[in-house]
């Protein structure tokens, strides 16, 4: 039940879900002939959607997460590389094979770190929510993809049960203890890294962040010097709305995990 509620309730805090709630409130007020009062929720709806779909706002929120663990210099070696799931879709019809989501950089980067000899083992952590159809766990999907990139199956330790980030950490820790693994490189999306590191550290895991899947680049490398760029970055954009929502999901997750004592 916690898993379902953790997916359902935050939807109404994200820009699109909150806007829908406000629009329903607007309709109720109009039905009750409170048209002047209805201006408040409809105005809030406009502001929420406009601001959260602007690149200026989206970049600020996203970068506050993604820039917390920027890698400085070369990553050290470790006993294992832990790659968190959330990067693949099962090969269900009409898909001819496993599909990689935007977060698929996790799989690519994990394989690269292994081939760069940063660690002798890979822990692939990720299950599937049972109310959604799937043919395999995310851990198995990642293993298949990594095999095509030249990673030996014998180097992979699969953890196919996790359904959220805390379970990723708890179940990975079980494998670490069984394999006598002390230090890990933690691979996940840059936006997801702050929450992940909080949880892994809470469990006493010696984790070195190895973020990937950046949706922003460092300040100073991108400029909005032209009038055209300024206008386009200010106007609403569906992709920016998605980035803002994804960042808000992380902040909500951090809050919930802290309240439960997990981070």
- Say if residue 40 is in the same domain as residue 96: no
- Say if residue 57 is in the same domain as residue 173: no
- Say if residue 129 is in the same domain as residue 206: yes
- Say if residue 96 is in the same domain as residue 164: yes
- Say if residue 21 is in the same domain as residue 58: yes
Longest dimension (CA), the chain: 69
What is the pLDDT confidence band of residue 28, given thresholds at 50, 70 and 90?
very high
Question: Could you tell me the residue range of the domain that residue 42 belongs to?
Answer: 2-66+218-259
Any idea what the CATH number is for the domain that residue 128 is in? 3.40.50.620
Cα→Cα distances 147→14, 98, 108, 113, 155, Å: 37, 13, 11, 14, 10
pLDDT at 221: 46
pLDDT at 199: 98
Task: Give the number of other CB atoms < 10 A from CB of residue 237.
Answer: 15
- Say if residue 54 is in the same domain as residue 130: no
- Say if residue 84 is in the same domain as residue 208: yes
- Say if residue 123 is in the same domain as residue 180: yes
- Say if residue 129 is in the same domain as residue 228: no
- Say if residue 196 is in the same domain as residue 238: no
Residues 6+ apart with CB under 8 A from 214: 66, 190
- Say if residue 224 is in the same domain as residue 208: no
pLDDT at 131 over 70: no
């Amino acid at each position: 039940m916690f898993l379902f509620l953790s997916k359902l309730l935050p939807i109404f805090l994200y820009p699109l879900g909150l806007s829908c709630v406000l629009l329903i409130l607007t309709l109720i007020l109009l039905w009750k002939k409170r048209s002047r009062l209805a201006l408040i929720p409809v105005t809030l709806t406009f502001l929420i959607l406009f601001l959260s779909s602007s690149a200026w706002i989206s970049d600020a929120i996203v970068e506050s997460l993604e820039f917390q663990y920027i890698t400085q210099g070369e990553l050290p070696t470790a006993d294992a590389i832990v790659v968190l799931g959330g990067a693949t879709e099962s090969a269900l019809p009409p898909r001819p094979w496993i599909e990689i989501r935007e977060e698929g950089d996790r799989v690519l980067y994990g394989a690269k770190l292994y081939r760069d000899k940063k660690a002798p083992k890979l822990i692939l952590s990720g299950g599937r929510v049972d109310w959604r159809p799937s043919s395999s766990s995310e851990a198995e999907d990642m293993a298949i993809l990594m095999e095509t990139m030249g990673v030996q199956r014998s180097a992979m330790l699969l953890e196919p049960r996790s359904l959220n980030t805390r379970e990723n950490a708890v179940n990975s820790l079980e494998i670490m203890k069984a394999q006598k693994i002390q230090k890990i490189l933690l691979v996940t999306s840059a936006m997801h890294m702050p929450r992940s590191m909080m949880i892994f550290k809470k469990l006493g895991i010696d984790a070195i962040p190895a973020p990937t899947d950046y949706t922003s680049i460092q300040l100073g490398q991108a400029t909005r010097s032209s009038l055209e760029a300024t206008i386009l970055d200010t106007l609403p954009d569906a992709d920016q709305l998605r980035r803002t929502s994804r960042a808000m999901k992380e902040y909500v997750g951090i809050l919930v995990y802290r309240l439960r004592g997990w981070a």
